[in-house]
Amino acid sequence: MNIDTRNIVLDVEKVRKTFGSVEALGSIDLCVSAGEFLTILGASGSGKTTLLRIIAGFETPDSGRIRIRGADMTWASAAERQIGMVFQNYALFPHLNVLENVMFPLEMRKVRRVAAAERARATLDAVHLGAFADRYPKQLSGGQQQRVALARAIVFEPSLLLLDEPFSALDRRLRESMQQEIKQLQTSLGLTTIFITHDQEEALVMSDRIAVMGDGAIQQLGTPNEIYYQPNSVAVATFIGESNLFEGAPDERSFRATSGAQFSLMSSTECTRMLIRPEAINLRRESSAADPKELNVFSAQVLDRSFVGGLNIYRVRISEGDEIRVHVVAREAAVYAPGEMLQLVIDPADCRPLGEKANP
């Protein structure tokens, strides 16, 4: 991805942080350009919260720089950084009503009261809360509180919007509609956004780019497609999506798993691990007219099936002995009973060698 340097809003350069003897972040580099929606995805303990707190100005790095719109903000206070932040629990001021909450950042910027109220009302309208201006936070539902938090974070037109796991307290249905709404608002206002989450689905749905964090480092940075289809390590592959992992050895343009199963690849590789996504695998009843040129055809026995609505999830064992998970779109014709013998076909393009990093 080529980045126009004039458009860089946030530039994180070699940021390190240790707490006592524990290294929370080991030299993070990250650029976010204007209007971009970047997700920092990681499990708890991956360092994503520390990175967020350093960007927001609640924590200072041991070394490295934070630049916002070209200005060095490494030592600037949170107030000086012009960052709008939505906290995980929203952090609305309980003693202020909705309008006053949204006016708060404007007041702190010495905007005159009348003008501030006008802007706050306009922003509340944008998040569909115009009618709730006089309520107190405790009188609102979780989704409404979140909209207030969002309005408060964007009303002063910050250079950067930080969202810290904002959906974790919402139920599934509400979460999906809030995701859509925030994404729409972000696109229409051109908000440069950093979104912190541990939920891979959220990350895939919303992001322009995803930074997968683990062990205090960015494991992989790329578009949702790159992260999903071309994970650069076992850690990323297993964190995002379901995966069948094989260990083995490369063998010219194929990969020989330890069980003996041989998978044809698109090109030669030196990797010792291979990933096949469960939904990239086809199952079919054995046909007499099999194409002899077809690659990666295995005979497989169904071990069990779980039906989750849109998908049938099968566990099958190929004749070489490997157990493989297969996701099949739940057409009625593709319902197979446990014990049934099937053909399992994988396109060589879907067999992904995994470049494993030095550490196991």
Partner 1 sequence: MRDALTFLRGPRATSFLLVIPAMALLLLLFFYPLVTLFLTTLQAENIGNYAAIVGNGTYMRVFLNTLRLAAIVTAIDLIIAYPLAFYMCRLTPTGRNVAFFLLLIPLWTSQLVRTYAWMVLLGRNGPINSALMGLGAIDGPLPLSNGEFAVVIGMVHILLPYMVLPIYSSVSKIDHNLVEASRGLGAGPISTLTRVLIPLTLHGVLAGVSLVLVLSLGVFIMPALLGGGRVPVIPLLIEQQAGSFLNWAMAGTFCVVLLVMVMMVFWLIKLITRLLVRGRIDV
- Per CB under 8 A, residues contacting partner 1 are 56-58, 77-79, 81-85, 87-89, 91, 93-97, 104-105, 107-109, 136-139, 152-153, 156
Cα distances (angstroms) measured from residue 128 to each of 95, 114, 133, 181, 222: 22, 21, 11, 10, 33
The CB-of-115 to partner 1 minimum distance in angstroms stands at 16
Nearer to partner 1, 105 or 278 (CB): 105
DSSP secondary structure string, 166-202?
Answer: TTTTS-HHHHHHHHHHHHHHHHHHT--EEEEES-HHH
- Amino acid symbol at 132: F
Cβ(10)–Cβ(67) under 8 Å?
A: yes
When computed from its CA atoms, the radius of gyration of the chain, rounded to whole angstroms, is 25
Dist. CA 316–CA 192, nearest whole Å: 45
Structure tokens that stand for 214 in this block: 């683990």
Nearer to partner 1, 80 or 304 (CB): 80
User: How many Cβ atoms sit within 10 Å of the Cβ of residue 70?
Assistant: 11
The CB-of-147 to partner 1 minimum distance in angstroms stands at 16
The CB-of-167 to partner 1 minimum distance in angstroms stands at 16
Nearer to partner 1, 14 or 109 (CB): 109
Nearer to partner 1, 191 or 283 (CB): 191
The stretches of 218-353 forming alpha helices (DSSP H) are 224-229, 234-239
Cβ(133)–Cβ(97) under 8 Å?
A: yes
The CB-of-154 to partner 1 minimum distance in angstroms stands at 11
Nearer to partner 1, 197 or 233 (CB): 197
User: How many Cβ atoms sit within 10 Å of the Cβ of residue 261?
Assistant: 18
The CB-of-337 to partner 1 minimum distance in angstroms stands at 53
The CB-of-89 to partner 1 minimum distance in angstroms stands at 6
Nearer to partner 1, 82 or 220 (CB): 82
Cα distances (angstroms) measured from residue 291 to each of 8, 177, 296, 297: 52, 46, 11, 10
Nearer to partner 1, 3 or 115 (CB): 115
3-state secondary structure of 213: strand
Nearer to partner 1, 37 or 104 (CB): 104
The CB-of-209 to partner 1 minimum distance in angstroms stands at 24
The CB-of-85 to partner 1 minimum distance in angstroms stands at 5
